[in-house]
Structure 1
Amino acid sequence: MTGRRRIRKISSTLATVAAGASLAVGCGVVPGVAGGTADDTVTVMTWAPQDTGATNRPGMPALALAYARWVNGHGGLSGRRLKVLTCNDHNDGVTAAKCARRAVKENVVAVVGSYSQHADSFLPVLEGAGIPYIGGYGITTREFTSPLSYPVNGGQPALLAGLGTALAGACGAVTMVRPDTIAGDQLPPLLDSGLTAGGHPDATDQRAAEDATEYGGQADRALRSATADATAEGCVVPVLGDRTSTFMDSFRRARDAWPEVRTATVLGSVDQSTVNATGGASSPYEGSYVTSWYPVSTDPRWGPMKKVLEEKAFGDNRVDAADAGVQTTWIAYTVLKKVVASLGDGPVTADTVSGALDDGLEVGTGGLTPTLKWTFQSELAAVGFPRLVNTDVTLQVVREGRLVAARKGFLDTTDTLRAAEVS
């Protein structure tokens, strides 16, 4: 056992003792297949906010539970039963830390395919216990700095850098509308890095309440700002998570008094269901660029995930195959499956899982991402993203009411992100 792993194991024991009694945080569990025993069970946790007034990601834990039912019905993870605990962080730092402490108490081997804006609250708890965080949503910078974080996508950094690159040659004045939160503060420099790479001035940074029920005033301000340059079509970029559709409802009503303005955003703030709900081909999203980490949901590479959903989540309206959170959770569990297989007949613990990943395990995802491999010094370590190993995004566009590929293949944002100034 290396010195680093020995320290991690000792930390795990101490953190488990320190966690004390379980705190009530609304967790669920899925049973395994017949034949599974406590000795050959792999226990993990997936968390996400649900039933809150701001961003919600119920599909992520729902997919995790469906995946566990499916994998346990097909022999488990290399013969081991998969047990999934779920937790609702309520978009709250205190509750996010409670979820992490429960993960420690339950002796999970990893937190997999999860979403939380409160990395500063939960990651120290996981780090103290040596528990890896596999496939976070990439909503916070710390997910790309923690040595126990193993992101499967480029998070908001890659999405916004790619979007800025796409908009640089297509827009006049650009206005970004984003949450007035700590996580939101990290977004403007990322969009600006792409705009700058294309020789475009920085976007106007417009803050908005994350949980507002209407954005009439914000929409008016954004339109006024985006039309400041009368020589070119302006662009408004709302990045408000679940509240993006609320903003667009206000935007639709406000834009009648202004010239045509293009909109653009990132997957996670809009998906096909959002376009449908806002008018389809007559939606204010028509013609909008949307960056994603993955291929469009109609791509055949999503076939295995859709098969699992059809078998184990049919009729569960929490799970949408086009949702970026659901897709991220699927890829994160793909990573977990490969890690467990790599351990053979050896023990599956938090230490051995992170050890396998740290030792250079390569994970293929069927073309949904590049081959994933985590190192301590990635190409983006110098600019504050040492754990960001997948810089690829896809560029999509809303055309005749459908979200389709705007270009073939992936766009690599590595060089653009090198120039980003994120604190």
Structure 2
Amino acid sequence: MRSVIKKWPALALTAVLATSFAACSAEDGDGGETVKEDTDVTFTGDPVKVMTIAPVDTAAINTPEIVTAAEAATITINNDGGINGHKVELISCNDGNDPNTAAGCARQAAEEGVVAVVGGFTTSGTAIVPILEEAGIPFVGATAFSAEELSSKISFPLVSGAPAFAEIGARTEEDGCQSTSIVLYDVPTALKAVDLINIGIASAGGEKGTHIKVPTTTTNFSAVAKAAGESECAILGLPNDQIAALAAAGKAQGEDTRYYAVQGALNQKVIQDSNGAMEGAVSAVNFVPASDPVWDDAKAASSEIDWSYPYVQNTWAAYQVLVQVTADLDEVTSATVLDALGRASGIDAGGLMSPVDFTKEFPVPGLNRVFNTNVQFVRAKGTDIESVSDFEDITPLFGG
């Protein structure tokens, strides 16, 4: 039986920074095509501009597939007549994985009069959100790493962010794990993620997990796999390549570890690169798995993309949310979109996620903009990711 988490560490809201963003980096696709613009469509209103912010061609994080997803989404919307007859013009801004460049993207959004920043991926929400807030521009599908994204009235994340860390911790205990390792990069913010995971484990009546600190320069994961193998279960929060290398090393050494992955760390690249070592691995997600037919429209829009990446999914879903909330707007501006978002409930991005209510904030100070409190557990099976639970509301875990 879970106990309610009575207190939430104030610093925990940035826990995702050290783990999920590394795990979610998208890469170039393996070829394929993206939908073409239908030049025969007639629009009845003036064009409206949107922006998607994502790092491309940087030394650390590269998410070109997110840009492709935004392009595919806007073309698909326009081929269906746009937003209430307005053609959607996409501005993709490369934040360079740099706060100063990211702030420049936000200033460009304000200067060009975009009606919303939609989806994307950034670790620089602290630099972006205040500028958007001053300009009154909503951030639909915010990455939800920074304190600002998790508290600002212009921020509308579609992911659970920090609370999902506690949920995956609780899951290990509920699955009967007698001992658990928590494998994260050896960086200061990882300590907050460990706290979150251990809170979840404790809420389900378990003992704290063992924190395995991985140097960021690690290339040989044999020792890490051996250390993780000393526990029955291991929660992994590393980049794709490192997770695959760790799991493969563990398999080669005969380790019999059950793997769990933080939100975003279980995708098809990890499964394929681990050569079967991630079979049965479990994670918690906010979106329906990419193998579900509900993603057929996205796949039809672009076959270049691995739609199992959570922030690729988030970007496509954010564009569906934008269409959903603007359906009845006579005038499409940043002010009217922001107002419509603030009044919207039952938003499910066309069935891609459990319905969310943007009128009700999360009952934890500092995490108040967590709207999507419903997660489901998924598992690696063969080369696919399958659902192994219904969507579950994590709010009761926090006393809500």
What's the CA shift for 1:372? 2.3
Choose which of 257, 264, 270 in structure 2 pairs with 1:261. 257
Q: Which has the higher helix share?
A: 1
2:285 corresponds to which of 284, 292, 297: 292
Match of 1:92 in 2: 98
User: Counterparts of 1:96-115 in structure 2 under 5 Å?
Assistant: 96-115=102-121
Which residue matches 1:367?
351
Which of 47, 61, 64 lines up with 1:41 in the alignment?
Answer: 47
Q: Does 1:338 align with 2:324?
A: yes
Distance in 2 of aligned mates of 1:182 and 1:102: 32
Is the CA contact 1:214–1:247 (under 8 Å) kept in the aligned structure 2?
Answer: no
Give the CA deviation at 1:209: 5.2
Using CA pairs under 8 Å that are at least 6 residues apart, name the structure with larger relative contact order, 1 or 2: 2
Does residue 83 of structure 1 match 2:89? yes
Unaligned runs of 5+ in 1: 1-29, 228-232
Residue pairs, 1:219-368, within 5 angstroms = 220-221=223-224, 223-224=226-227, 227=230, 233-240=231-238, 243-253=239-249, 256-257=252-253, 259-279=255-275, 283-307=276-300, 309=301, 313-314=302-303, 316=304, 319-343=305-329, 345=330, 347-368=331-352
Q: Aligned partners of 1:179 and 1:36: how far apart in 2?
A: 51
For the residues of structure 1 that align with 2:384 and 2:77, how far apart are their CA atoms? 33
CA contact (8 A) 1:49 1:55 kept: yes
* 1:236–1:263 CA contact under 8 A, matched in 2: yes
Instruction: State whether structure 2 residue 146 is matched by structure 1 residue 164.
Output: no
For residue 124 of structure 1, give the secondary structure of its aligned residue in structure 2: helix
> What is the distance in 1 between the residues matched to 2:340 and 2:54?
26
Tell me which amino acid in the other structure corresponds to 1:47.
Answer: I
- Taking a change above 3 Å as real, the CA distance of residues 101 and 238 of structure 1, as seen in their structure-2 partners, is same
Shift of 1:68: 1.4
1:61 alignment counterpart:
67
1:51: which partner in 2?
57
Query: Structure 1 residues 188 and 245, CA, compared in 2 at 3 Å: closer, same or farther?
Result: same
Partners of 1:305 and 1:246 lie apart in 2 by 28
The alignment-based identity, stated in percent, is 29
Match of 2:370 among 379, 388, 393: 388
Contact 1:383–1:418 under 8 Å retained in 2? no
The DSSP-based 3-state class of the residue aligned with 1:79 is coil
Q: Secondary structure at the match of 1:393?
A: strand
- Indicate if the aligned counterparts of 1:112 and 1:333 stay in contact, CA closer than 8 A: yes
Find the residue that maps to 2:306 and give its secondary structure.
coil
Instruction: Map Cα deviations across residues 366-398 of structure 1 (whole Å, 9 max, x no partner).
Output: 3322222213x52x3334311111111111122
- Deviation of 1:77 after TM superposition, in Å, equals 1.1
Q: 1:226 to 1:299 in 2, by over 3 A?
A: same
Quote the offset at 1:300 in angstroms.
Answer: 1.8
Contact 2:186–2:215 (8 Å) recurs in 1: yes
Shift of 1:352: 1.2
Q: 1:251 and 1:74, CA in 2 relative to 1: closer, same or farther beyond 3 A?
A: closer
More moved, 251-260 vs 67-76? 251-260
Pair 1:403-2:385 in alignment:
yes
SS in 2 for 1:143: coil
Name the aligned partner's letter for residue 70 of structure 1: T
**Partner SS, residue 341 of structure 1:** coil
Distance 1:398 1:327 in 2: 18
TM-score with structure 2 setting the length: 0.82
Q: Residue in 2 aligned with 1:412? A: 393
> In the alignment, is the contact (CA less than 8 A) between 1:33 and 1:81 conserved in 2?
no
Aligned length: 364
Specify the alignment match of 2:15 in structure 1.
none
Q: Cα gap change, 1:291/1:364 in structure 2, threshold over 3 Å: closer, same or farther? A: closer
Q: Secondary structure at the match of 1:177?
A: strand
Change (3 A) 1:360 1:325: closer
Computing the radius of gyration over CA atoms, which structure comes out larger, 1 or 2? Answer: 1
SS in structure 2 opposite 1:40? coil
Pick aligned residue for 1:155 from 161, 172, 183: 161
Partner residue of 1:194?
200
In the aligned structure 2, how far is the partner of 1:71 from the partner of 1:263? 39
Contact 1:394 1:405 in 2 (8 A): yes
1:121 aligns with 2:127: yes
**Farther off after superposition, 324-333 or 359-368:** 359-368
Partners of 1:415 and 1:267 in 2: how far apart?
Answer: 19
Deviations 1:230-278 (CA, angstroms, capped at 9, x unpaired)? xxx52222212xx232243145335655642222103522212321222
| Amino acid in structure 1 at the alignment position of 2:223 | D
C-alpha distance in 1 between matches for 2:253 and 2:136: 56
Instruction: Please identify, of 171-180 and 55-64, the stretch whose mean Cα deviation from structure 2 is larger.
Output: 171-180
SS of equivalent residue, structure 2 residue 269? helix
Contact 1:130–1:350 (CA<8 Å) still a contact in 2?
yes
Which residue identity is paired with 1:385? L
Note closer, same or farther for the CA distance 1:73–1:360 as it changes in structure 2 (3 Å cut): closer
- CA deviation string 1:304-324 (max 9, x = no partner): 3223x2xxx34x3xx222221
Q: Distance in 2 between matches of 1:209 and 1:118?
A: 23
Change in 2 beyond 3 A, CA 1:201/1:91 = farther
Q: TM-score, structure 1 length as denominator?
A: 0.78
